[in-house]
Chains A and B, each alone.
Chain A
């Protein structure tokens, strides 16, 4: 099954805001609000950052936010910090009781 589409890389300077997009189809992001985002530092397990499109788990900085429009979900990181440099993955429920991940986006803090 095809993955969700994310940009391979994005970058930003400290203090700036960046957006990572995640494009799916009318079988996943387009009709379900079950989109989540994960942060992964090198050699570490992924960490949940956003669930159900725009909800933050307890303990996650409010600099992280999420949104959705049509078949595309977005992760927004404001006030970029060096510690935000990591890989980010989106995932969504897809019709047919399956789950699909995005290919991942490498965030570089300049």
Chain B
């Protein structure tokens, strides 16, 4: 059974870079038809797609975050990572990683999801 687990600091200072890693277990990150995505949810608010990566390194980002986001993959560790630079309080959120299905070159559903990790931006 495929499982995903987020890890990283729970507190980041304003203007610094938020860095998280998602570890995939129970399956290979180097699978055809699957991208690997990051989604976030500010406290009490809705979900927002951040971006997704293929095991080859191909990436797609939310246009509203593109200038600050970098997603990378390490197939040897079965992990993918998120870097979000120049963070502010507005980036405080629960960050989820998830497997992102792509069919016929089009993004489709997210499943399964990690449990999520809360990252607070504060000095």
A residues adjacent to B (C-beta < 8 A): 1, 3, 32, 34, 36, 38, 45-48, 51-52, 57, 89, 91, 93, 96-104
Contacts and interface: CB of A to CB of B under 8 A. Distances in A.
Nearest to B114: A45
Nearest to A103: B46
A60 to B, nearest CB: 11
A48 B97 CA distance: 14
28 contacts: A1-B62, A3-B46, A32-B106, A34-B106, A34-B107, A34-B108, A34-B109, A36-B110, A38-B47, A45-B96, A45-B114, A46-B47, A48-B110, A89-B46, A91-B47, A91-B109, A91-B110, A93-B106, A96-B63, A97-B60, A97-B107, A98-B49, A98-B60, A99-B49, A99-B62, A99-B107, A102-B46, A104-B47
A48 B114 contact: no
How would you classify the secondary structure of chain B's contact residues: helix, strand, loop or mixed?
A: strand
A36 B48 contact: no
Contact size range, B: 20 to 34
Q: Which of B47, B112, B116 has the most CB of A within 10 A?
A: B47
Contacts of A101: 39, 46-49
Nearest to A57: B111
Contact of B108 (A45, A89, A93, A103): A93
Given A45-B116, A97-B60, A98-B62, A36 B109 contact: yes
Q: Which of A1, A36, A45, A104 has the most CB of B within 10 A?
A: A45
Contacts of B60: 97-98
A104 B46 contact: yes
A31 to B, nearest CB: 11
B64 interface: yes
A46 B109 CA distance: 12
